[in-house]
Amino acid sequence: MIILDTLLIGGLRFVLDKIAQAVDAELNDEQRLREELLAAQMRVELGELTDEEFVALEREILARLRALRGTGARGATRVTGVEARTWED
């Protein structure tokens, strides 16, 4: 019985981890955020959003994009690679 419980819990944990990863990937997809911003701009043009609502939504989306790119409010950048050279005498 203990083995079955362990397998069930392990399987359930695996499925929940995969769901969490998929949700995280969806929320943090840069292309999806750009599309969301474009859709908000279109909603303003159609009169579905006020300018104030758009500005608030735009700030939120741009903050999420900055967070994805690794730049915060202070403008810090994330190092993604290093180039090294050697000199021979």
Residue 37 corresponds to which tokens in the numbers above? 């911003």
Residue 42 corresponds to which tokens in the numbers above? 């279109």
Q: Name the packing angle between helices 30-45 and 51-69 (round to 10°).
A: 170
Band of residue 77 on the pLDDT scale cut at 50, 70, 90? low
Rounded distance between C-alpha atoms, residue 60 and residue 54, angstroms: 10
Band of residue 53 on the pLDDT scale cut at 50, 70, 90? very high
Could you state, in order of their start, the residue ranges of all structural domains in the chain? 2-69
Q: Could you tell me the CA-to-CA distances from 68 to 34, 36, 40, 61 in Å, in that order?
A: 12, 15, 20, 11
Reported pTM: 0.51
- Top pLDDT among 87 and 30 is at 30
Examine the pLDDT at 56 and tell me if it is beyond 90.
yes
What does pLDDT average to over the chain? 79
